[in-house]
Amino acid sequence: MRRKMYEKEISACSIFGAMNIEGERFTGEGVIKAIANMHLRGNGLGGGFAIYGLYPEYEYYYALHIMFRGNEGAKKETDALLNRSFDVVHDEEMPSGERANVPDPPLVWRYFVAPDKKGKDKLLSDDDYVVQKVMDINLRIENAHVFSSGKNMGVFKGVGYPEDVAEYFQLDSYRGHIWTAHGRFPTNTQGWWGGAHPFCILDWTVAHNGEISSYGTNRRYLEMFGYHCTLNTDSEVIAYAVDLLMRRQNLPMDVVAKIFAPPVWEAIEREEESKKILLAMLRRVYAPLLINGPFAVIIAHHGEMIGLTDRIRLRPLTAGVRGKMTYLSSEEAAIRLVSKKLDRAWTPNGGEPIVVSLDGGGRGEKVDEVIPFA
């Protein structure tokens, strides 16, 4: 038996997110410009975008973006699996611009599907069923990788600078109410299309800058819950952890932030009694999901965009608000490029989440107020 070999890519990156808190959809022009402005944080080996509110015409169907490498085999096998497990209401090759500067683009296909559960699968919720099928494709079908699997949203990613990836997938033709973007600098292995960010499971996406030194612990814990990391990059664990904690276990974001980036024990001991008990309990039960090592992430799902850094803030994250638009970015300059004037701009403390939601607007500690330029 061949040993299981887990690969993990590590990367330094740029991340950017924009959300309209009233749910109005907007084009990606500004987001593409902003992420392109952080060109130097990437190295052309990966770029990607997640767009929410993308497919209103197929609102009730899971939109699967699937990448195929090599010959026809993987797609045939995947099509067979999809036809067995879903009602495929529409599928097409992802429109792409042939002239974009991206190397060896694989075949990317999108499917709009409804679960067709049989036998004991009927006991599963639709979401759990889709997760299971996504894992099946990723794990069992060689050369097929599911980029995204949520409803009314989609992930577009590949090798190249994010602005080139945007051009390749013709993202200027799409609109959404949340956009997140990622520019990649993988440092120890070749970038590949499946390894680009954002990572997605159902409608949860994660764009991550950093290296997770707790990857092995996180991955092995998630395996107990049926998640298998197949995309060869450490950031994947955050997407699955978010799905486990927020969707399956229904934990509020503030609690999840304290699981990923818990306060140190000394700080917990200084808290008032009820908070102390809560934080201590979280650390005990969810110790394997502490995300250790440097990270800044933008996590998104329908109606919510969240920014979070590791507890000792080894990666940058800045937030800006202008009217109904809220921005999260590795660099403030990228926000200012899109919105010269901001109502406020700030840098959160390590481990303090910024939660931007449709109804409530921006939450999160307002600290380190940044003095705006002009």
Partner 1 sequence: MKSYLLPEFIIERNEDRCIKCKVCERQCAFETHRYDEELDRMFSNEESCVGCQRCAVFCPTNALTVKPNQSAYRPNYSWTGERISDLTKQAETGAVLLTGSGNDRPYPIYWEHLLLNASQVTNPSIDPLREPMELRTFLGRKPDMLEAELMDDGEVRISTEMPPNVMVKTPILFSALSYGAISYQAFKSLAMAASEYGTLFNTGEGGLPKDLRKEYGKNAIVQCASGRFGVDLEYLNCSAAVEIKIGQGAKPGIGGHLPGEKVSCLIAETRMIPAGTDALSPAPQHDIYSIEDLSALIYALKEATNYEKPVSVKIAAVHNSAAIASGMVRAGADIIALDGLRGGTGAAPKMIRDNVGIPIELAISSVDERLREEGIRNRCSILAAGGMRCSADVVKAIALGADAVYIGTAALIAMGCTLCQKCYTGKCNWGICTQDPYLAKRINPDIASRRLTNLLRAWSMEIKEMLGGMGINAIESLRGNRDHLRGVGLQEWELEVLGVKGAGE
So which residues are the catalytic ones? 13
Tell which one of 255, 337, 358, 370 touches partner 1 (CB under 8 A). Answer: 255
Tell which one of 292, 302, 357, 370 touches partner 1 (CB under 8 A). Answer: 292
CB nearer to partner 1: give 283 or 302: 283
Instruction: Say how many residues touch partner 1, by CB under 8 A.
Output: 49
Q: Strand 47-52 to strand 178-186: parallel, antiparallel, or no bridges (unpaired)?
A: antiparallel
Interacting residues with partner 1 between 302 and 321 (CB under 8 A): 311-312, 314
CA 78 to chain centre: 23
CB nearer to partner 1: give 97 or 316: 316
Site string for partner 1, 182-201 (x = CB under 8 A): -----xx-------------
The DSSP line for 139-162 is HHSTTEEEEE--BSEEEEEESS-H
CA-CA distance, 165 to 190, in Å (whole number)? 17
Shortest Å distance, C-beta 124 to partner 1: 17
Tell which one of 86, 286, 327, 346 touches partner 1 (CB under 8 A). Answer: 286
Is residue 88 within 8 Å of 112, Cβ to Cβ?
Answer: yes
Q: Within 13 Å and on the Cβ side, how many CA atoms surround 208?
A: 27
In this structure, the number of other CB atoms found within 10 A of the CB of residue 118 comes to 9
User: Per rule CB under 8 A, is residue 293 in the interface with partner 1?
Assistant: yes
CA 295 to chain centre: 13
Shortest Å distance, C-beta 183 to partner 1: 16
User: Per rule CB under 8 A, is residue 79 in the interface with partner 1?
Assistant: no
User: Per rule CB under 8 A, is residue 124 in the interface with partner 1?
Assistant: no
CA 256 to chain centre: 15
C-alpha to C-alpha distances, 83 to 76, 212, 222, nearest whole angstrom: 10, 37, 28
Chain contacts with partner 1 (rule: CB under 8 A): 1, 3-6, 8, 10-12, 187-188, 210-211, 213-217, 220-221, 223-225, 249-252, 254-255, 264-266, 274, 278, 281-288, 290, 292-294, 311-312, 314
